[in-house]
Amino acid sequence: MTHSGPAYDPDQYWENRGGPFYREYTESSGYEQYRRAQGQFFSELVARLRPRRMLDFGCGTGKLFPLWVDVPEVHAYDRAQSQIDVAREEAMRVRPDNPYRVLHYVSGERAEVPYDDDHFDLIVAAEVLLHVVPSDIGPLLDELRRICRGHLAVVTAAPFTNPAAHCFDHDYAALCAGRFDLADDHVVHHQRYLVGGKVPSSGKVRLDEKSRQSKDFVSSLSDSKVRLPNAIVTP
């Protein structure tokens, strides 16, 4: 995929646009419908999976932090220092007796994230992966799979491509094949929600035809909720 416009430097982009702009956007009245939908989805997911250790990947200013208060160990990661500074304050405010772990900031690495293999029961990436350029999305998902021992949950625009704003409509079902076995794939308010369990190295992924044709599948939905055949099994 090629696109015109300035070269995408993630650090510069999120420092310049993702700081005050991001917080203003997520706190606006127009964003409330997405906030409610994500709150319901993640609250139900955490209650079902009961993760002991989780990662809020691309946490931004910590807008989802109140949803993780019942998780014993919470880590959060973002590459924009301006957002991390705000998120650190939010982490202390939300749970001062057991604050979320120090937020990591790694600059200049395309895909590497600073966690051990099989470290997290749950990894959440809310409105994050759509900003990853197509050449980097596969390596990044490899990294998320590496540090995951349980499930990956993704929220993204569906479908939405705007190269000028560094937003890309990836084929998530195809990308998950061999990495995460999709158990949930549905759309609410034009945002796509996916949940997949980590596929063991020797495991096989079984995807139905709708998942294989994910772009046509999602494009045909209108704020509906669709459950794929495989259900999430709580450990």
Residue 47 has pLDDT above 80, yes or no: yes
Residue 6 or 172, more confident: 172
Nearest by Cα to 137 from 118, 154, 121: 154
Residue 10 or 206, more confident: 10
Q: How confident is the model at residue 180 (pLDDT cuts 50, 70, 90)?
A: very high
Q: Are 28 and 34 in contact (CB under 8 A)?
A: no
Residue 35 has pLDDT above 60, yes or no: yes
Give domain status of residue 153, yes or no: yes
Q: Of 85-94, 115-124, 191-200, 204-213, where does mean pLDDT reach its minimum?
A: 204-213
What does the pLDDT average to over 79-90?
85
Residue 221 or 126, more confident: 126
Give domain status of residue 226, yes or no: no
Domain count, the chain: 1
Distance of CA 233 to the CA centre of its chain: 20
Residue 31 has pLDDT above 70, yes or no: yes
Q: Which tens digit of pLDDT belongs to each residue from 89-117?
A: 999 999 999 989 977 766 544 556 788 99
Count the Cβ atoms, other than its own, within 10 Å of residue 108: 9
Residue 234 or 149, more confident: 149
Give domain status of residue 2, yes or no: no
| pLDDT > 70: percent of the chain | 71
Q: How confident is the model at residue 5 (pLDDT cuts 50, 70, 90)?
A: low
**CATH value at residue 50:** 3.40.50.150
Give domain status of residue 224, yes or no: no
Q: Which domain holds residue 85?
A: 10-219
pLDDT of residue 93: 94
Q: Which tens digit of pLDDT belongs to each residue from 58-74?
A: 998 899 999 999 999 99
What does the pLDDT average to over 150-167?
85
Q: Are 100 and 75 in contact (CB under 8 A)?
A: yes
Give domain status of residue 70, yes or no: yes
pLDDT of residue 122: 98
Give domain status of residue 5, yes or no: no
Residue 148 has pLDDT above 70, yes or no: yes
**In angstroms, rounded to a whole number, what is the distance separating the alpha carbons of residues 233 and 231?**
6
Render the chain in DSSP notation, one character per residue. ----SS---HHHHHHHTTTHHHHHHHTSGGGHHHHHHHHHHHHHHHHHH--SEEEEET-TTTTTGGGGTTSSEEEEE-S-HHHHHHHHHHHHHH-TTSPPPPPB---S-SS--S--TT-EEEEEEES-GGGS-HHHHHHHHHHHHHHEEEEEEEEEESS--BGGGTB----HHHHHTTTEEEEEEEEETTEEEEEEEEPPTT------HHHHTHHHHHHT-SS-----SSPP---
Give domain status of residue 170, yes or no: yes
**In angstroms, rounded to a whole number, what is the distance separating the alpha carbons of residues 155 and 187?**
9
Residue 10 has pLDDT above 80, yes or no: no
**In angstroms, rounded to a whole number, what is the distance separating the alpha carbons of residues 45 and 48?**
5
pLDDT of residue 154: 97
Average pLDDT along the chain: 80
**In angstroms, rounded to a whole number, what is the distance separating the alpha carbons of residues 206 and 226?**
17
**In angstroms, rounded to a whole number, what is the distance separating the alpha carbons of residues 203 and 213?**
22
Angle at 49 between CA 170 and CA 23, to 5 degrees: 55
What does the pLDDT average to over 13-29?
67
Give domain status of residue 22, yes or no: yes
Q: How confident is the model at residue 18 (pLDDT cuts 50, 70, 90)?
A: low
Residue 157 has pLDDT above 80, yes or no: yes
